[in-house]
Amino acid sequence: MRLFIYLFIVVLYSSGNISAQKYKYYRYDTDLLPKEFHKGRREALRKMLPDKSVAVFFSAPVRNRSGDDDYTFHQEPDFYYLTGFVEENSMLIIFKEEQNIGGIKTNEILFIEDKDPGKEVWTGRRLGKDGVTPVLGIKTGMLNTDFDDLKLDFKKFDKILHLKFPQGAVHEHGSKADLYSLVDQFKKKYDGDKEDPFELFEDMAKLRMIKQKEELTLMRKAIDMTCDAEKEVMKSIVPGMYEYQVQSILEFEFKWNGSEYVGFPSICGGGENSCILHYESNRKKLNDKDMMVVDIGAEYHGYSADVTRSMPVNGKFSEEQKAIYNLVFKAQAEGIKLCKPGASFFEPNKAAKKIIAEGLKELGIIKSEDDVSKYFMHGTSHHLGLDVHDVQTSYELVSGNVITVEPGIYIPEGSDCDPKWWNIGVRIEDDVLITDNGCEVLSAKAPRTIEVIEALMKENSIFKIQH
């Protein structure tokens, strides 16, 4: 399976002998990033490259789950960002200056797997090298089996830039077309003394940190469907449900609205599990008094959302749950105020932590504000995009950044405080776009106030009725 489904129809025109072949390319999804976007990103990177340099990118490896069953293939984000190509066993080379390689003048080459009708029956249609230019807009397409014999002297470049080599690539015996072979052949061709993986990482991070309008369109869709799932869970959840049933509701909503995957494993923690930050088992039966943390993100055309809401399983906050929730809500609101161009990435975290420290001391949960990290032990923000924890190389917020603001309080059983607070976990997380004049909360449609959450939880849904 692949991230997106490609359908190619070959139409042959002939008069006596076949004089031409034209490939018509169809995509089921009509809102994928256009080839012009990826071309623009390659041009932006090329401008950043030093003179007489070359940048090399590899696709993600295929990862085996068990036996002959592989995990669903997910393209390496930088590779996808620059190409829009979602097949495996591939390599992209971007030259700073145009090259003459065996009579071919080009400044970029995409090496891909050849078409194979026998395999495509099982695993889906491949693009084929003749589709590289018309479909992806990349100047030159070649087969990955051609790279080993390619007359390309890497020693003539002053710098050879690449990211960390893909981990876990498996060599198929006798194959020259797998990712392992491509990496191995590249290593033999280049001078390792000229490499600088970190420099290329920084260049790509600088590009990806500032979201283009086409990216924001896809991110808004991913975030909207994630908010819809949060709302559906609020309407559906009742005591006696299992955490995995909550997970099934929200992931149904993702798929129903067009999400290809989850951006990360869904976190649906009730009661004691609300105090585990990245809880993923989702097997507990939910009790009447439980607080529940639902931290989820749909992935849409490669871009992930990340939204967290916390709610009482029985639909009504207890006084203790309400006190903790309002404290987190206050901290988040203050953090969001500080999301603006020129601000430090760390300012929302600093403000949120101060409010939570003061509030926990006032509630008698901690004796000193210095103990706040006992119950709020993570940072408030991370960048968001092609990765849920997206790349970052600068700590000054600028227009086009998308970050999360997600303070939380987690008080596990056995904590050094009154037992009435035990097993209350609350996290509120929103996705925030930095704009020219401030910020926009992209996930605002998912309810955050106690009054609206409790009102929504009184409503019916088909899932609540079925349960």
What is the per-residue pLDDT across 228-246, written as a single tens digit (0 to 9) for each?
999 999 999 999 999 999 9
Rounded Cα gap, residues 249 and 230, in angstroms: 9
Angle between helices 197-209 and 35-48 (to 10 degrees): 130
All residues at 6 or more sequence positions from 299 whose CB lies less than 8 Å from its CB, including other chains: 222, 259, 260, 261, 262, 263, 305
Q: Which of 34-38, 96-100, 189-193, 328-332 has the lowest mean pLDDT?
A: 189-193
Helices (H), 274-376: 319-337, 347-362
Which pLDDT does position 24 carry in this prediction? 42
Question: Contact at 8 Å (CB) between 386 and 303?
Answer: yes
Which pLDDT does position 172 carry in this prediction? 82
Q: Which of 124-138, 224-238, 324-338 has the lowest mean pLDDT?
A: 124-138
Which pLDDT does position 27 carry in this prediction? 67
Fold of 211-466: Creatine Amidinohydrolase (3.90.230)
What's the mean pLDDT in 438-463?
A: 96
Amino acid at 47: K
- Asked if residue 155 has pLDDT above 60, the reply is yes
pLDDT band at residue 2 under the 50/70/90 scheme? very low
Which pLDDT does position 9 carry in this prediction? 29
What's the mean pLDDT in 157-182?
A: 89
Sign of the torsion angle spanned by Cα atoms 152, 171, 56, 83:
positive
Distances from the Cα of 327 to the Cα of 249, 267, 322, 335, 345, angstroms: 29, 22, 8, 12, 22
Which pLDDT does position 175 carry in this prediction? 80
Query: Phi, psi (5° rounding) for residue 435?
Result: -110, 180
Domain at 31-207: CATH code = 3.40.350.10
Q: Where are the domains of the chain?
A: 31-207, 211-466
Question: What pTM was computed for the model?
Answer: 0.92
The string of DSSP codes covering 138-150 is -SEEEEGGGTTT-
Q: Which residue has the higher pLDDT, 381 or 4?
A: 381
Tokens at residue 460, please? 């019916």
- Asked if residue 16 has pLDDT above 70, the reply is no
Which pLDDT does position 194 carry in this prediction? 64
Q: Which of 138-147, 196-205, 311-320, 432-441 has the lowest mean pLDDT?
A: 196-205
Rounded Cα gap, residues 293 and 268, in angstroms: 6
Which pLDDT does position 6 carry in this prediction? 36
What is the per-residue pLDDT across 455-464, written as a single tens digit (0 to 9) for each?
999 999 988 8
Q: What is the mean pLDDT of the chain?
A: 92
